[in-house]
Amino acid sequence: MSDVVRYVECYTSRIKDNNLRRAVCRPQELPDLNEEPNFQAYNANRIPDLNEDPCVESFYSYENKQEFGWESQPSYKHEANEVYSETQNSGHDYYDGGHHGKVVWNTDQEFLSHDELVAWVKSRAVDNGYIVVTARSKKKGDVVKKVWLVCDRGGEHKAVAMRRRSGSKKIGCYDVLLGSIAAFYVFMVPFTKVEESFNVQAMHDILYHGHHIENYDHLEFPGVVPRTFIGALLVSALASPMVLVINFLHLPKIYSLLAVRLTLGLFILATLRFLRVQQIKDKFGLQVEAFFVILVAIQFHMLYYCSRPLPNILALGLVNLSYGYWLKGSFYATLRCLIFATIVFRCDMLLLLCPLGLELLLTKSISLWEAIKCCVGAVLFSIGLTILVDSIMWQKLLWPEFNVFWFNSVLNRSSEWGTQPFYWYFTSALPRSLLAAYPLFLFGVILDRRLLFYVIPVLSFVILYSKLPHKELRFIISSVPIFNMSAAIAASRIYNNRKKSFWNLLYTAFISLLVISLGGTAITFLASYENYPSGYALKSLHRVGHTKNTTSELWVHIDTFSAMNGISRFCEIDNQWRYA
């Protein structure tokens, strides 16, 4: 590409009939590739540095409440013509990714802020193999009237352009940040508790016993209710290369536990990335994505739980995918993901599926007949898969989640493990899991009315779950991503308006909340570190046993309390030690 490949002029105009602001992008004259680039055309002071991140400016300012406030949000509607002409007609040797010289920029999508419009343009450019950055913008008062967008690549034009999927190196940094925190939790607290016992033992048996199902732990200790093997099979298959290396090096099995937990955490973070990068960034802009990452990073429970083999976490992966499709507008894919999560992993996801599906029907986002066909197909596939796999693994005809539903909901036996009042999720679980995002997500709904479409079904899910007497934070962890998205939008608005007097107070309170949240996360981690006494006890016993010069077998009895608080098959050492 040339130093200045092409640029788009965006401006806003007032439509008197409906008091909307319309954003229009028009193609400008394409520069002659034989001429020296004229960077004064877009008021650039220097050639862009190819090693620096694209510049994203905060353009839009909500100066007065009446015109730009939440009572009367401005609506930007992108009605672009073709930005780039056919290469044959333009006389320039351009190649636009997979579109072969022709990119169509028409859309009926409405944008409530200038940031969202620019984010859409940049995302559309990325889809076609090039990166667009902001050269300069022109304001009238506090309102952006025009913005000049240019390609961030200089140098010689190449006949075949490489398609670039990301407009910012920050995206990779976000993944590294979240992954590093999750990995830190795995290495610091490798042990598991009773809630994770089925999937942990199942992964161990799949990796170390293979097709010898008669040796599997669940046939001797089936637990209160049966669980599906599908999640354990998936994670074990993904982790098996690492486990082969661990076995080849004759390392203790505890390293295999680290491998499966890291694999699960990577899978959950990949689904969260799909929601964050593909949808939140495209729909609300890079700045909202940045605050979303900050909020997740300072929260303890999401990154701590994402590597723990709980049925709730396995379902969370599918819920994250469903949220991503929901924001994308692929509503039938949303329903399929939630149906599979409900039937296979957690039957209580029905409490999220029903409000969301009802909202889609009431807003006419989906048709009733198409929804019925979609749901019936997904239900039949999910039931058939889980019965096929789990009947083989349990050696009897079985649909595990139906048994769980009957035990917890119909018989209400889950209350034998303790009960909490109706309001417990709102006064204890959500404040602890969201921290600074808890007040911010409510503020976000007030600032941006579009969020009601996403928050209401998720909030209904928490309210419906509150009817069940037995409550745990992990039951509603699937609601955290949407609440974080709403909080990130509020944080972005506060940050953009921080120089105004009232908003500056909110900004100070926001920074204080982040610091308090970080402190709360540190305290919670220290408490969780001490929450696996049996695992540490067995580790110390192994260390003491190795100091004795003996060839005889050493027997260890693992009682119920020990098995519930840190010990699993992965903690065992085959050499000399025997466990009963």
HSE-CB of 468 using CA atoms within 13 angstroms: 25
Q: Per mean pLDDT, which range of 79-88, 123-132, 244-253, 527-536 is the poorest?
A: 79-88
Quote the pLDDT of residue 457: 96
Could you tell me if residue 45 is inside a domain? no
Q: Per mean pLDDT, which range of 159-168, 221-230, 275-284 is the poorest?
A: 159-168
Residue 208 predicted with pLDDT over 90:
yes
Residue 56 predicted with pLDDT over 70:
no
278, 267: one domain? yes
Quote the pLDDT of residue 344: 96
Residue 42 predicted with pLDDT over 60:
no
Q: What is the mean pLDDT of residues 298-310?
A: 95
Q: What is the mean pLDDT of residues 538-563?
A: 77
pLDDT confidence of 550, banded at 50, 70, 90?
A: low
Quote the pLDDT of residue 486: 95
| CB 286, CB 241: distance < 8 Å | no
> What is the percent of the chain with per-residue pLDDT over 90, rounded to a whole number?
52
Q: In DSSP terms, which residues pair with 84 in a beta bridge?
A: 103
251, 339: one domain? yes
pLDDT confidence of 222, banded at 50, 70, 90?
A: confident
Q: What is the mean pLDDT of residues 317-331?
A: 94
pLDDT confidence of 564, banded at 50, 70, 90?
A: confident
| CB 118, CB 11: distance < 8 Å | no
Quote the pLDDT of residue 142: 65
Quote the pLDDT of residue 548: 61
473, 514: one domain? yes
Q: Give me the domain span that covers residue 548.
A: 533-579
470, 551: one domain? no
pLDDT confidence of 560, banded at 50, 70, 90?
A: confident
Is 0.75 surpassed by the pTM of this model? no
Q: What is the pLDDT of residues 374-383, one digit of tens each?
A: 999 999 999 9
Quote the pLDDT of residue 117: 76
524, 538: one domain? no
DSSP state of 474: G
548, 501: one domain? no
Domain boundary among 122, 151, 180: 151
401, 429: one domain? yes
Q: What is the mean pLDDT of residues 543-558?
A: 73
Q: What is the mean pLDDT of residues 101-122?
A: 68
Q: What is the mean pLDDT of residues 56-73?
A: 37
Strands 192-193 and 132-140: unpaired
pLDDT confidence of 127, banded at 50, 70, 90?
A: low
> What is the percent of the chain with per-residue pLDDT over 70, rounded to a whole number?
73
Quote the pLDDT of residue 14: 42
Residue 221 predicted with pLDDT over 50:
yes
Could you tell me if residue 433 is inside a domain? yes
Q: What is the mean pLDDT of the chain?
A: 79
Could you tell me if residue 5 is inside a domain? no
Could you tell me if residue 106 is inside a domain? no
pLDDT confidence of 480, banded at 50, 70, 90?
A: very high
Burial per residue of 309-333, b for 16 or more beta-carbon CB atoms within 10 angstroms, e otherwise:
bbbbbbbbbbbbbbbbbbbbeebbb
516, 558: one domain? no
Please give the Cα distance from 89 to 76 (Å, whole number): 31
What end-to-end distance do the CA atoms of the chain give, in Å? 69
- Residue with the bigger pLDDT between 61 and 373: it is 373
Residue 232 predicted with pLDDT over 80:
yes
Nearest residue to 234 via CA among 350, 320, 317, 303:
317
Q: For residue 106, count CB atoms less than 10 angstroms from its CB and return exposed for 0-12, middle for 13-18, buried for 19 or more.
A: exposed
Q: What is the pLDDT of residues 440-455, one digit of tens each?
A: 999 999 988 889 999 9
Could you tell me if residue 195 is inside a domain? yes
Q: What is the pLDDT of residues 393-442, one digit of tens each?
A: 999 999 999 999 999 888 888 888 888 999 999 999 999 999 999 999 99
pLDDT confidence of 508, banded at 50, 70, 90?
A: very high
125, 173: one domain? no
Could you tell me if residue 325 is inside a domain? yes
Domain boundary among 507, 530, 553: 530
541, 402: one domain? no
Contact partners, residue 558, CB within 8 Å, separation at least 6: 534, 538, 567, 579, 580
Identify the H or E element spanning 110: strand 106-111
454, 471: one domain? yes
Residue 8 predicted with pLDDT over 70:
no
Please give the Cα distance from 307 to 270 (Å, whole number): 12
306, 414: one domain? yes
Could you tell me if residue 295 is inside a domain? yes
Residue 532 predicted with pLDDT over 70:
yes
Q: What is the mean pLDDT of residues 288-307?
A: 95
Look at the chain and report how many structural domains it folds into.
3
Quote the pLDDT of residue 562: 85
pLDDT confidence of 555, banded at 50, 70, 90?
A: confident
Could you tell me if residue 398 is inside a domain? yes
Domain boundary among 492, 512, 530: 530
